[in-house]
Amino acid sequence: MKEFGRRALALVLAVLLLGLCACSAKTEPAQEETAASEAAAEPAQEAAKPEEAPAAEEPSKNEAADAAAEEQPETVEPETNEATAREPEVRAPIDELPEQEAPAATDVPLTCTISISCATILEHLDELDPEKVELVPEDGWILAPVTVEFTAGQNVFDVLLATVKANAIHMEYQNTPMYETAYIEGIGNLYEFDCGALSGWMYRVNGWFPNYGCSRYAVQAGDVIEWMYTCDLGSDVGGGVSQGYEE
């Protein structure tokens, strides 16, 4: 019995060994297949990977500088001459400009000659108011001929008025600019009718007695204006009755 048991145990062990051998045989081919598949996959993966492009070589500093110099356009220096070489003129602000002098007047002043005479009274002193005899100058000149200045557009009355004021000579008159009428009543305190009923003041320009008022006669350069006292409505001074009579 013991021997039978040993044989049975040996048989069981043999069966077990055979089973183990069979299992190991099956496992090794599977492992070999797995290793083979892995080995085949590695080349495929390597083939699938893209080839990395070789890194571009970085240019050296000298090469970069040369390339930049070649890319820059060539600049042409402008020609210089005396006109362009001058420094720009610096102008002062308007408020700092020097004041300009007013231009000198080039117009020659207008002048004329004027005089005031009462010489005819010397021949009619007997007709003169005795209180006024001392007002008559010995030579008859209240104002000897004098050259005066005037402005364009002035009339004989304007010149007479300015002259007596400048020489402090008394004068009384009536002036109505609206009607261009001016009447001389007295000069040097010698009035109309002081030496008779026909006495009074008259004026003459360039030897001619105008037959209109002195405020209407426009003075011209070089005119000779004479104011004269008449004792006979102008007959004693060559003027007639102031009707344009030319002496």
Residue 87 confidence (pLDDT): 60
Residue 91 confidence (pLDDT): 57
Domains of the chain: residue spans and CATH: 110-237 (2.170.130.30)
- Spatial distance between the Cα atoms of 205 and 218, rounded to a whole number of angstroms: 11
The answer to whether residues 111 and 147 touch, using CB atoms and an 8 Å cutoff, is yes
Q: Report the SS3 class of residue 208.
A: strand
**Least trusted range by pLDDT, from 63-77, 130-144, 164-178:** 63-77
The pLDDT tens digits for 91-144 are 555 444 445 454 444 467 899 999 999 999 999 999 998 999 999 999 999 999
User: Which of 70-79, 101-110, 157-166 is the most confident on average?
Assistant: 157-166
32/110: higher pLDDT: 110
Residue 220 confidence (pLDDT): 98
Location of structure tokens 């004027």: 114
Residue 100 confidence (pLDDT): 47
Q: What is the mean pLDDT of residues 164-187?
A: 92
- Spatial distance between the Cα atoms of 58 and 68, rounded to a whole number of angstroms: 15
Interacting residues of 238 by C-beta distance below 8 A, sequence separation 6+: 209, 245, 247
Residue 50 confidence (pLDDT): 46
Q: Report the SS3 class of residue 226.
A: strand
Residue 60: in which H helix or E strand, if any? none
- Using CA atoms, how far residue 106 sits from 100, 102, 103, 149, 223, in Å, is 17, 12, 9, 16, 22
- Mean per-residue pLDDT over the chain, rounded: 77
Q: What is the mean pLDDT of residues 162-189?
A: 93
Interacting residues of 172 by C-beta distance below 8 A, sequence separation 6+: 184, 185, 186, 191
Eight-state DSSP code of residue 168: T
Could you tell me which of 86, 82, 78, 213 has the C-alpha nearest to residue 158? Answer: 213
Encoded amino acid at 180, one letter: E
The pLDDT tens digits for 77-92 are 555 555 455 665 555 5
Residue 63 confidence (pLDDT): 58
